Amino acid sequence: MTGNNVVLAVALLVWGLLFYYLLRLEGRIRKLEK
Partner 1 sequence: MILRGILLLWIAAGIILAFTWAPLVPVLQETTRVLYFHIPSAWVTVLALGWSMVASVLYLYRRRLEYDDHAGTAAELGLLFCIGATVSGSLWAKAMWGSYWNWDPRETSIFFLLLVYVAYLALRGAIDEPRRRARLAAIYSVAAFVAVPFLMFVVPRLYDTLHPDPIINPRGKVDMDNRIRMVFTGMLLGFTGLFYWMLNLRVRVLRIERRREDQGRPMEVAGA
Q: Where do contacts with partner 1 occur on this chain (CB under 8 A)?
A: 4-5, 7-8, 11-12, 15-16, 19, 22-23, 25-26, 29, 32-33
Query: At closest approach, how far in Å is the CB of 4 from partner 1?
Result: 5
Query: At closest approach, how far in Å is the CB of 9 from partner 1?
Result: 9
CA distance linking residue 28 with residue 22, whole number of Å: 10
CA distance linking residue 31 with residue 8, whole number of Å: 35
CA distance linking residue 18 with residue 26, whole number of Å: 12
Query: At closest approach, how far in Å is the CB of 34 from partner 1?
Result: 10
